[in-house]
Chains A and B, each alone.
Chain A
Amino acid sequence: MAIRPAIVGVGQTYHRSKRPDVNIGELCTEAVRAALEDAKLPPEKIGAFVVGNMELFEGRYMQDMWQTDFVGAVGKPLIRVTTGGTTGGTLASVAFEHVASGMFDLVMAVGFEKQSEGDTRAGLKTVADPLWNRWQTTGAIGYFARVATFYIKETGAPEDAGSRVRLRLARHAARNPHAHLRMDLESVDQVMKFPYLIPPLRQSDMCPASEGACAIIVASEETARKLPRKPVWVDDWTSVHKEMVYVRGGRHSTADLEMAADRLFRRNGIREPMKDISVAEIYAPATWAELEWLEAYGFCEKGDAWKLEEKGQFHFDGPFPVNPSGGVVCTNPIGATGLIRVAECALQLRGDAGEHQITRKPTRGFSTAWGGSGWTVAHLLSADGL
């Protein structure tokens, strides 16, 4: 890598199922202003922009053109990234690449979603091949019901394993002022009262549809050292595409997650991921996916994640905090979701996460984005002075 990038500012809006108080541009402005304020930078310092959201969802062609004014990019380089569920993760990667290339000193990435303005379910169904399997899509719910079914079958996890994940994440979200779903849950039994969507998947196992935006500011090493915020170093990032036509249950089910994490860990000398990494903000749209994917990333052995969950290992104040922000099952403005993972990791590594700050010493952070049933983006960040 030519130039080492650093995250020097992050900002996000509050997230709700509807934000009728603002239009799309104004929603982005909120996140942009928060990031500039965090970085203590005036808007004119930003040299280039990367913006993104889901295709089709809000029904606008060239959304980037509509965003230009609202993010402060008039007259400057700006490109749109729209890679489905991974959009937010790719936004971060592309901003890192802008800086790593040496072409820009300060780059801003902005992701948003305003789901109530269109039809998320209709938009998501268009992911499948119209001539092959679109007719059978049951959206995210159908996909994650299969994840749950297979996880139980392959690991012997009890039916309440997903509910334990929800309970942990609800506790985390209660401490995060930006989180959307703030469910007042006290016991697994209480979570198990939520109705089934497709057994064994319950309503409480799924992410909400949220509206909100997130922005991060990335700087070159030289510039980052001169700025007031403690920089968060970007050590590495990657993305993996899996064969698109496959059936879950086949051997390729989690290949993208495995390859992405394995590549980053190998390249960066991470041999014991739970020891070497102190916080994970992973893009898991369902509770069961969090369990399955922690195993796929190689944090623990296959079939062990639900046991570690029972022991409370993944709590924000536990030995290996996972999604201390409350994660995707509490907040999911899709085009921003992957970027929120990066921003939340950065806050943790700076020690600025407030009420949901991990108690373990922040060293390295791992963030991911996932989408399209076969695409993973992953980032490895580290704290300054490590």
Chain B
Amino acid sequence: MEEREERLSQERIMEIRYRWSAGPYLGRFLAELRDKGKFYVVRCPGCERFLLPPRIVCSTCYTRIPEYPDGWIALSGRGILLDWQRVIYPQMDPETGEVRDEPFLHGTFRLDHDLLFVHYLGPADLDEGRLQEGMKVEMVMKPQEQREGKVTDIHYFRIVED
């Protein structure tokens, strides 16, 4: 009788804990979002472009960006729907490693000053049939007690009727 050769392999699960510093720019952005529900961008004093998220140097002209509040501008939280993606295949949640089975919508929004931003579209808008490019959207924050200083303190963007 022919013997099948064993192809030995071994499995381990490695759990690693990380803690990342946000720094004064992104840190301030996240703190303002958490504490006041304000969405800040900063204008580069060198080339006048708006930086989202705020960072220490302009990535185009390498000018040093002032710390909050110099040149920091709170956006209105309103914008226009550019496009959306219906995520229908099971996705690993990058925050938890858990698999998300339920479908959800990612939208790309054009905010004030032509800044593009990607976030969820709200559950009320999951019915894709009514979505159209150019619809007006607004930012919906999580309740104060649920905010953690993360970009997901924004709950989602929802479609607002004209």
Question: Interface residues of B toward A: which range?
Answer: 35 or more
| Contact A245/B87 with A125-B94, A134-B95, A135-B95 known, Cβ cut-off 8 Å | no
9 additional contacts, CB 8 Å, given A153-B83, A243-B60, A244-B59? A128-B94, A131-B30, A135-B93, A135-B95, A135-B150, A135-B152, A138-B91, A142-B87, A249-B82
B124 CB, min distance to chain A CBs, angstroms: 19
Closest chain A residue to B89 by CB distance? A197
B68 contacts partner chain A, Cβ-Cβ < 8 Å: no
Candidates A131, A149, A150, A197; contact of B22 at CB < 8 Å: A131
B86 CB, min distance to chain A CBs, angstroms: 6
Taking CB atoms, residues of chain B closer than 8 Å to A146 are 83, 85, 108
Contact mask A124-136 → B, CB, 8 Å, 1/0? 0100101111111
B106 contacts partner chain A, Cβ-Cβ < 8 Å: yes
B84 CB, min distance to chain A CBs, angstroms: 9
Bound-state Cα–Cα, A10 to B93, Å: 40
A196 contacts partner chain B, Cβ-Cβ < 8 Å: yes
Taking CB atoms, residues of chain A closer than 8 Å to B150 are 131, 135
A contact set with B: CB distance below 8 Å: 20-21, 59, 121-122, 125, 128, 130-139, 141-142, 145-146, 149-150, 153, 196-199, 243-250
Taking CB atoms, residues of chain B closer than 8 Å to A249 are 82-83, 108, 116
Closest chain A residue to B55 by CB distance? A245
B162 CB, min distance to chain A CBs, angstroms: 23
Bound-state Cα–Cα, A131 to B55, Å: 13
B140 contacts partner chain A, Cβ-Cβ < 8 Å: no
Taking CB atoms, residues of chain B closer than 8 Å to A21 are 7
| Contact A135/B151 with A20-B9, A149-B83 known, Cβ cut-off 8 Å | yes
CB interface residues, B 1-56, toward A, < 8 Å = 7, 9, 14, 18, 20, 22, 26, 30, 52-53, 55
B85 touches A136 (CB 8 A): no
A194 CB, min distance to chain B CBs, angstroms: 12
The listed residue with most B CB atoms (<10 A of its CB), out of A21, A138, A245, is A138
B83 touches A245 (CB 8 A): no
B92 contacts partner chain A, Cβ-Cβ < 8 Å: yes
- List 10 interface pairs A-B (beta carbons < 8 Å), by A numbering: A20-B9, A125-B94, A132-B26, A132-B151, A136-B119, A142-B85, A146-B83, A199-B86, A245-B53, A247-B116
Taking CB atoms, residues of chain B closer than 8 Å to A145 are 85
Taking CB atoms, residues of chain A closer than 8 Å to B92 are 121-122, 125
B41 CB, min distance to chain A CBs, angstroms: 12
A244 CB, min distance to chain B CBs, angstroms: 8
A281 CB, min distance to chain B CBs, angstroms: 29
A30 CB, min distance to chain B CBs, angstroms: 16
Taking CB atoms, residues of chain B closer than 8 Å to A141 are 89
Closest chain A residue to B115 by CB distance? A247
B118 touches A247 (CB 8 A): yes
B26 touches A131 (CB 8 A): yes
Bound-state Cα–Cα, A132 to B119, Å: 11
A61 CB, min distance to chain B CBs, angstroms: 12
Closest chain A residue to B149 by CB distance? A131
| Contact A138/B106 with A131-B30, A132-B26 known, Cβ cut-off 8 Å | yes
Taking CB atoms, residues of chain B closer than 8 Å to A199 are 86, 88
Closest chain A residue to B108 by CB distance? A249
B45 CB, min distance to chain A CBs, angstroms: 18
B97 touches A59 (CB 8 A): no
